[in-house]
Chains A and B, each alone.
Chain A
Amino acid sequence: MAFYTLGLTFWIVIALTIAVLAIWIYGLYFNFKKWGMGSTGYQDKLRNSFWLFIATWIHEAFKDGIWVFVKTAILDVLLLRRTLRRSPVRWVMHMTMFYGFVTLAALSGLGLFMDIIEHFNLLGLTHQAEMVKGFMELPFDIFGYMLLVGSTIAVARRIVLKQVRDNTSAYDVVLLGGVFLITISGFYAEWLRGNSFLVGDAFANSVYAPHFSLLHTILALALFVAILPWSKYMHIIAAPLTILANRGGE
C-alpha cells in the first residue's frame, strides 16, 4: 500500500474520509435548511423549515406529472439540453466535466471500498478486490481525460473570450483553477505511479509517487467534497434540482 505515506495509516484515511463526508453531508443539510427559509407558495410568509423545502421541491418538480419529471431528468439534467441549445462548445465542456467528475468520484468511492475489502479480507475477496482495482485503471484514465478536456475548455474560454474574461471574478478563477489543478495533479500522480494507460511507466517514480497521490487526494477531497456545499460548486447540486423544480425551465 504505497499510497499510505507520511505516517498515514489505513485507519487515519478512513477517519478522514468519514470526517470529510460528514462535512459534505452537513453542508448539504445546511444549504437545504437555508433554502427552507423561503415560503412554500406565492405571497407566503417565510417558513424556515428543512422539511418544507423538501416538500416544496417535490411539489414543484412533480407538478406536471411523473412523465415530465422523467423527461426533464433525462434531457435537461443528464443530457444538458439547455446548454446544448445555447452553445455546443459549452455543452462539450459541461458534459465532459460533469461525467468525468461524477465517474471519477464514483470510481474513487469504489476504490476505497475495494481497499476496505482488501484490508479486512472481507469474505476472502482480497484477490478479487485487487483485480477490480486493476480493471479500474482504464476507466480512471478515460474519465480523467474527459475531465481534463472539459476543464481545459473551461479555463481556455475564460482566457480567450474577451467578454467572458472581463466578467470572470476571483471566485471563478479560484474554483475553476481548483478543478484544473486537481485534474492535472491526478494525472501526474498516475504517471508517477507508473499506472497510466497512455504513457505507461515513462514517469514512474516510486519515491515521490505516494506523496503526490496524497497531495492530489487531499486537494480533491478538500475542493470537491469539503468546499462544494459552501461555494460555486454548489451549482452541481442546485442546478439540476432547479431544472427539475422548474420542469425544464423556460
Chain B
Amino acid sequence: MAEDKNPAGKPLLSGFLKSTQLMELDACTRCQECMKWCPTYDVYNDRPEITPMYKIAKFRELLGSQHGLRAKLFGSKPLNEDEVDQFMDDTYMCTTCGVCGTVCESGINTVELWEAIRPNLVVRGNGPWGKQNFFPILLGKDRNPYQAKQEDRLCWVPKDAEVLDSGKIAYFAGCTAAYRQQALGVATVRILNALDIPFCMLGEDEWCCSSALVRTGQRDVMKAHAVHNVDAMKDRGVETVVYACAGCIRTASIDWPRWYEGYIPYKNVPLSVYLREKVESGEIEWKRALDNLKVTFHDPCHSGRHLMHLVGRDWAFEAPRDVYKSIPGLEYREMTRSREFQRCCGAGGGVKAGQADLALGCAEARVADGEAVGADVISSTCPFCRRNIMDGRNSSGSSAKVADQVELMAAAMGLDVTIPDNPYMEFQEQDEIACKGGVCQIEESAETKSDDIDGY
C-alpha cells in the first residue's frame, strides 16, 4: 500500500467503503449525541473536529467536491491537500471504541466506517499516523509488534504446566501476554491446569491477531496472519478457542472470517465466559478470600461493544461481572459508565502508538471513573487496556491498582503464578499480585519499562 507516499492527484476513494457506508455519511442528523460520549473529545474538548459528527461532515464535503452535483456539472476541483491532511489527523484521533455508534440516532456503524475510511487515506499516502507505520513492517518481519522472537512465544510457560500440542481446546494468548504481561499468561495456564482442562497452544505458530493493522487501516499483512492462525487451529483439530485478550477475540471473531476463504470449524470464547461456567458448576476451589479488595471492571471496547451483537450481551458484559462477584471477599463496584456506555481507556485504534498523549488523557479519565466509585483495583479482561490504564494511573498519581481478572482469580484460587525466568523479564509491565498465606497485596509497577510500538 505504501509504494508512493505522495497523495497529490490521487483519488480520495480507492475502495474499502461499502455503498451503504457512503449512505451513512448522509444519514447523520447532526444531533450531537456522539459529542457527549466521545472519549477523545473529553480529552481534547477544544477540538470538536475530532468528533464523529464533524468527521462525517468533513468527509462528506471532501467527497462532495469530487462527486457532488457541482462536480458533476462543472467538473471536480483538485482536492485541497491541507484539508485532507487535517481530516487524516482528525480521523486517526479516534480509538475506534464505537460508543458513538452505540448512541447514534441514525444507527451509523461508526467503527466499521472509520476502519473503512482509514485504508483509503493509507492508499493515498496520507495515513497512517506516526509510529503506526511500523505495524505492517514489524508484523511482516517478526509476526508480533514487540520485535520478539517467535520461538519465544511460550518461553513464559512454567515447566510443570501441561500444555498440549493439539487438542479440542486452544488458548490463544496474544502477543502482550506472551511478551509483556506474562503473569496473565501464567495465571491462565495455571487455572486451566487446576481445572483439569486439557488445552493446546499454537506456540511458534501463533502469529499476532493483527488487530492493530485493521484498526489503523493498514490491511496488507492482515490476510496472511488471519489465514495462518485459522489454519493453525484447524491443523490441531481445535473446536473451542479461549482468549484472555479482548483485542485478539474481537479480531478473531469479526476480522479473520472476512479474510479466510473457507469454513472455520471452531468457536471463539472469552475466557471469562469459560470460567463462569466452571464457577457455576462448582468446579472452582477457592483457597483465599480477597478481603477488603474493592474492584471495578473496565469493559474493554473490543470484547464488549464490538462483540455484543455477535455473542450477545450476556457473554459481552455479564460473564466477566459474574466471575468477579464469585471471587470470595472481593467487593465489586460498578463504574458510572459501564457496559455498552463505558468510557474507552484510550489505547485502541492505534492511538497509543500514534498519539500517546491522547491515549494517556483517556486513561487518566478512566482512572478517575474508577476512583469515583472508591475502587482499589481497576480490573479488565484486556492486556492492552490494562497497560494503558496503568500508564494513566502512573501519570495521574492515583493509588488505584490495575489487575487482570484472570490474575485476581488465580490469586483467590491460591495458584502459583511465578513467571519462569525468560528473556523478556525486563519488559514485564504489570502490577503484581503477591500473596502470603491468606493475604494478597497488589504491588504496582511504577513505570512503563519498554518503548514499544504497540496498539490495538
Bound CA–CA A42/B17 (angstroms): 8
Taken residue by residue from 226 to 239, chain A's Cβ proximity to chain B (1 for < 8 Å, 0 otherwise) reads as: 00001010110111
Docked-complex contact A52 and B104, CB < 8 angstroms = no
Q: Which of B106-114, B245-253, B431-439 contacts A (4 or more CB under 8 A)?
A: B106-114
Docked-complex contact A249 and B19, CB < 8 angstroms = no
B229 within 8 A of A: no
Selected from B35, B63, B108, B259, the residue in CB contact (under 8 A) with A163 is B35
Main secondary structure on B side of the interface with A: helix
Docked-complex contact A37 and B20, CB < 8 angstroms = no
Main secondary structure on A side of the interface with B: helix
Selected from B19, B29, B48, the residue in CB contact (under 8 A) with A235 is B29
User: CB within 8 Å of B: which of A201-250?
Assistant: 230, 232, 234-235, 237-239, 241-243, 245-246, 248-250
Selected from B29, B48, B219, the residue in CB contact (under 8 A) with A167 is B48
- Contact (A242, B108) CB under 8 Å given A39-B18, A46-B15: yes
Docked-complex contact B21 and A31, CB < 8 angstroms = no
Docked-complex contact B14 and A82, CB < 8 angstroms = no
Q: Which of B85-93, B95-103, B347-355, B412-420 contacts A (4 or more CB under 8 A)?
A: B95-103
Selected from A31, A44, A94, A169, the residue in CB contact (under 8 A) with B15 is A44
Bound CA–CA A238/B24 (angstroms): 7
B21's closest neighbor in chain A, by CB?
A38
B30 within 8 A of A: yes
Docked-complex contact A243 and B107, CB < 8 angstroms = yes
Q: Which of A53-61, A113-121, A130-138 contacts B (4 or more CB under 8 A)?
A: A53-61
A164's closest neighbor in chain B, by CB?
B32
Residues on the B chain within 8 Å of A46, using CB: 13-15
CB distance from B254 to the nearest CB of A (A): 10
Docked-complex contact B219 and A43, CB < 8 angstroms = yes
User: CB within 8 Å of A: which of B68-101?
Assistant: 68-69, 72, 98, 101
- Contact (A246, B108) CB under 8 Å given A30-B69, A45-B15, A172-B30: yes
- Contact (A232, B107) CB under 8 Å given A35-B23, A238-B23: no
Bound CA–CA A243/B19 (angstroms): 14
User: CB within 8 Å of B: which of A35-81?
Assistant: 35-47, 52-53, 56-57, 60, 76, 80
CB distance from A21 to the nearest CB of B (A): 18
Closest 10 CB pairs of A and B: A249-B107, A38-B19, A238-B26, A242-B27, A238-B27, A243-B107, A239-B106, A53-B19, A250-B102, A38-B22
Residue positions of B touching A, CB distance < 8 A: 13-24, 26-33, 35-36, 48, 53, 57, 63, 67-69, 72, 98, 101-109, 219, 258-259, 305, 308-309, 340
**Besides A39-B18, A230-B69, 6 other A-B contacts (C-beta < 8 A):** A31-B26, A37-B19, A44-B18, A82-B106, A235-B29, A249-B104
